Structure 1
């Protein structure tokens, strides 16, 4: 698991590219510079790891392109020690970004193969999530709620009611909504019953599947 000066140079270039594309959160850019993305990918993709592209990671899933990871992370407005629920652990790269932003990360993965891989990988990289679980992301983690923010890393046809219920007042839920193409959507919980909705253009994600375990 080598991380070289060349890799660091490529990460710096990637962070500069993301800044040019409109990522302004310096903490997010610092996380991109720090996290060895190549270690979250199959070794056959190592030479391409710092391109702004998505890649397959097994089980029909992908690691999101760095711009998407950075964009979602920026929308969350993570503060140190925020409790963040991540739906779709995947490769663990987004988990690592949240960790480096100072979040206490709770993450759910529905693919057992990925759950096992990522649960083994993250501790080796010094990434200490508060709670990783294998389960149905539509249900969230009610036993650990409420959360300061929730991030969904797969395309959802609807906003799961369970996730809205698990968000603190003032909290932020970032979710890609749609069937084939998704619109990046931010919900801000204003009070017990009201949410403020913002939309940020189209992205493409693998689908968020329900009751597949």
Structure 2
């Protein structure tokens, strides 16, 4: 876990403190209620995960481009998906599909014991690694590969979070979910996407549709 002074650094991180607090109030007003999640969002410097030209917008509750046709997720969605993972209690082993900028990774790393993050675009993952090291977040292991396949060599996982929309729930991810484990994933295509919570029960999986969302697509195959 990072020390708070590693996260709340100088520059924009300090001068935007009021802006951060406004974001946290908005997330709370929109229904995010887990105090641990809200605190981690508050202290995580989102401006470090976007291009400098967009840093002034880092604490808006909106997705922002990070290159390669990818985005950093809306803070509300990061908070909501993290909260869903933790609803049944603390988790020690979570797989993230889609490292992207590393922002969701950074949030997860402060909420669970270990994070295993898979990303198909190597240059994005390399940048994310650098950011997490800079913030002293060292409980994350990375894999460059196909998110549809997950990371079977290190399965099972107590939680899996997918940060891109899949046309269907990948069977490989269901197979890698531990008993009682929770999978949070957007499913659909085009304009019709739904956030789903899937829980591995004793005799199968329970599925809960949680509402409409908008994510970039989960694509196959690693890309340098």
Specify if TM > 0.5.
yes
Structure 1 length normalisation: TM-score? 0.95
Shift of 1:212: 4.5
RMSD: 1.4
Structure 2 length normalisation: TM-score? 0.90
Separation in structure 2 between the aligned mates of residue 109 and residue 129 of structure 1, nearest angstrom: 17
2:161 to 142, 151, 157: 151
- Structure 1 residue 30 corresponds to structure 2 residue 42: no
Q: Kindly tell me: are residues 205 and 188 of structure 1, through their superposed partners in 2, closer, same or farther at Cα, counting changes over 3 Å?
A: same
User: Is contact 1:175-1:186 (8 Å) kept?
Assistant: yes
Shift of 1:123: 0.4
Q: Kindly tell me: are residues 152 and 4 of structure 1, through their superposed partners in 2, closer, same or farther at Cα, counting changes over 3 Å?
A: closer
User: Is contact 1:89-1:109 (8 Å) kept?
Assistant: yes
Q: Kindly tell me: are residues 83 and 12 of structure 1, through their superposed partners in 2, closer, same or farther at Cα, counting changes over 3 Å?
A: same
Shift of 1:81: 5.3
User: Is contact 1:95-1:129 (8 Å) kept?
Assistant: no
3-state secondary structure, aligned to 1:90: coil
Separation in structure 2 between the aligned mates of residue 6 and residue 176 of structure 1, nearest angstrom: 34
Residue in structure 2 matched with residue 183 of structure 1 by the alignment? 194
- The total of aligned residue pairs comes to 212
After TM superposition, the structure 1 = structure 2 runs for residues 61-210 of structure 1, keeping only pairs within 5 Å, are 61-77=70-86, 79-80=89-90, 82-180=92-190, 181-191=192-202, 193-210=203-220
